[in-house]
C-alpha cells in the first residue's frame, strides 16, 4: 500500500480545521496528523510531526502564516505549504508565496479542489488560483523588478523546453504529451531544472520563467 500524504492543518478557527479534516480524511491516500491554531503552534507541530503538506491559514494570532511558512520550509525542507485563505491575493498571501509556500487556494474552493491541491503540492506541482498567478507574474515581470532578463545558463535544450512548459503552467503529464516524452523522463528533467536554477519548487520556476520573459 502506498504511504499516505501526511497533512498538518493550520487555522485559528476550529470549525474550519474540523471541516478540512472531514474532507481530507475521507480520502484513502491522505492522513491528517495534526492541527494548529496559530503560526507558532504550526512551526512546533511541523518540527515534531514532519508532515508532507501543511494547509496554512494566513491571518492568525501569535505568528501569522507568512512567518510560519518561512520557518517551516527552513526547518522541514521536505514539507510543502498550501496557503488557504478567505482573502484574494493580497500582501499577506503574496508574502507567504515569497516565503516558500508551494500553492495558494481560496477558502471557497470545492472539496475536490482542496484534495487535488494537497496531492499536487505533495508531488511538487504549483497550485495557484488564476488571479494569484496573474498578480504574481505581474509583480515579478514589472520593469521595477526585472531589468534585462536573460535565458538560464546551464540548461540543456530539452531542460529549457521543460522549464518553459512549467512556466506556462503545464503539469508533468501535459509536458510529457506536448514534448513526446514519458512522465518519468519529464520528472527527471524537472528535478534537474530545479537543481540547476536553485528553485525550491514549481512556483518558483513559474516566477523565474516569467521574469526571464521566456513565457508570454
pLDDT tens for 61-84 read 889 898 999 999 999 999 999 988
The predicted structure's pLDDT at residue 145: 47
Domains of the chain, first to last:
5-137 (3.40.50.2300), 148-211 (1.10.10.10)
Q: How is the beta sheet containing 5-10 ordered, strand by strand?
A: 30-36, 5-10, 53-56, 80-85, 103-106, 127-128
Band the pLDDT of 177: cuts 50, 70, 90. very high
Mean pLDDT score, 14-39: 95
Closest CA to 93 of 121, 52, 131: 131
Mean pLDDT score, 85-99: 69
Distance CA 37, CA 185 (A): 41
Which one has a higher pLDDT value, 179 or 126?
179
Percent of the chain's residues with pLDDT above 70 = 83
Which one has a higher pLDDT value, 124 or 91?
124
Mean pLDDT score, 169-191: 90
Helix (H, G, I), strand (E, B) or coil at 83: strand
Helical ranges in 52-129 per DSSP H: 65-75, 91-99, 111-122
Mean pLDDT score, 19-44: 96
Q: What is the mean pLDDT of the chain?
A: 84
HSE (CB half, 13 Å, CA atoms) of 32?
A: 18
The predicted structure's pLDDT at residue 95: 75
The predicted structure's pLDDT at residue 146: 47
Helical ranges in the chain per DSSP H: 14-25, 39-49, 65-75, 91-99, 111-122, 130-141, 157-167, 172-179, 183-197, 202-211
Closest CA to 122 of 78, 166, 76, 68: 78
Can you read off the three cell numbers belonging to residue 105?
A: 487556494
Q: What is the sign, positive or negative, of the torsion defined by CA atoms of 15, 19, 24, 28?
A: positive
Percent of the chain's residues with pLDDT above 90 = 45
pLDDT digits (tens, 9 = 90+) for 122-176: 987 766 655 555 556 565 555 544 455 566 778 999 999 999 998 887 888 889 9
Amino acid at each position: 500500500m502506498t504511504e499516505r500524504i501526511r497533512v498538518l492543518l493550520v487555522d485559528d478557527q476550529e470549525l474550519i480545521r474540523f471541516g478540512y479534516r472531514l474532507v481530507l480524511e475521507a480520502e484513502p491516500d491522505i492522513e491528517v496528523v495534526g492541527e494548529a491554531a496559530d503560526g507558532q503552534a504550526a512551526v512546533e507541530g511541523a518540527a515534531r510531526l514532519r508532515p508532507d503538506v501543511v494547509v496554512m491559514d494566513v491571518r492568525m494570532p501569535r505568528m501569522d502564516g507568512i512567518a510560519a511558512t518561512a520557518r517551516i520550509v527552513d526547518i522541514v525542507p521536505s514539507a510543502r505549504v498550501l496557503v488557504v485563505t478567505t482573502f484574494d491575493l493580497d500582501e499577506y498571501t503574496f508574502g507567504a508565496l515569497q516565503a516558500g509556500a508551494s500553492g495558494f487556494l481560496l477558502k471557497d474552493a470545492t472539496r475536490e479542489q482542496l484534495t487535488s491541491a494537497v496531492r499536487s503540492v505533495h508531488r511538487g506541482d504549483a497550485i495557484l488560483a488564476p488571479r494569484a498567478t496573474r498578480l504574481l507574474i505581474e509583480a515579478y515581470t514589472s520593469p521595477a523588478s526585472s531589468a534585462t532578463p536573460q535565458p538560464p545558463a546551464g540548461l540543456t535544450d530539452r531542460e529549457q523546453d521543460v522549464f518553459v512548459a512549467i512556466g506556462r503552467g503545464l503539469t508533468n503529464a501535459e509536458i510529457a504529451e506536448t514534448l513526446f516524452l514519458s512522465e518519468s523522463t519529464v520528472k527527471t528533467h524537472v528535478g534537474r531544472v530545479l537543481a540547476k536554477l536553485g528553485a525550491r519548487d514549481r512556483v518558483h520556476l513559474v516566477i523565474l520563467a516569467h521574469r526571464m520573459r521566456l513565457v508570454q
